[in-house]
């Protein structure tokens, strides 16, 4: 199960880049959020943590940041959450979505060894 979430995160990152190139910033942002959520779920499953809500995913990333002494995890997940908000509000431009996608790529790279 964790492996399917892990694979989904990588696939969603690819889709985020495709949507960004196509000019659909709302979908690009949402795909990147999905990648962050999926890699977090993979880590949660491996650790036996709750992963059934946005709040649980936020708590998991905070817990990981604290455990690893890496506050960047918390900041990168916050960037992913902001991309998710963009799906509803559509307030980010291309540059902002692009930076957000890069942030999510960093988060995925940090969490992959734990998934």
CATH number of the structural domain spanning residue 85? 1.20.120.330
The Cα 105–Cα 102 span in angstroms is 5
Positions of E strands within the chain: none
User: Considering just the CA atoms, what is the radius of gyration of the chain in Å?
Assistant: 13
Question: What residues contact residue 5 under an 8 Å CB cut-off, 6+ apart?
Answer: 38, 39, 41, 42, 45, 115
Three-state SS at 88: helix
Distance CA 86, CA 83 (A): 5
Q: What is the pLDDT of residues 17-72, one digit of tens each?
A: 999 999 999 999 999 999 999 999 999 999 999 999 999 999 999 999 999 999 99
pTM exceeds 0.85: yes
Domain count, the chain: 1
Q: Which domain covers residue 83, as residue numbers? A: 2-114
């Amino acid at each position: 199960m964790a492996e399917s979430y892990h694979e989904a995160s990588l696939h969603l990152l690819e889709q985020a880049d495709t949507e960004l190139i196509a000019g659909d910033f709302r979908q690009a942002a949402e795909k990147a959020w999905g990648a962050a959520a999926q890699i977090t779920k993979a880590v949660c499953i491996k650790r036996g943590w709750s992963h059934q809500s946005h709040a649980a995913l936020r708590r998991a990333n905070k817990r990981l940041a604290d455990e690893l002494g890496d506050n960047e995890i918390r900041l990168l997940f916050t960037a992913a959450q902001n991309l998710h908000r963009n799906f509803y509000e559509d307030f980010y431009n291309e540059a902002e979505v692009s930076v957000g996608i890069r942030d999510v790529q960093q988060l995925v790279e940090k969490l992959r060894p734990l998934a």
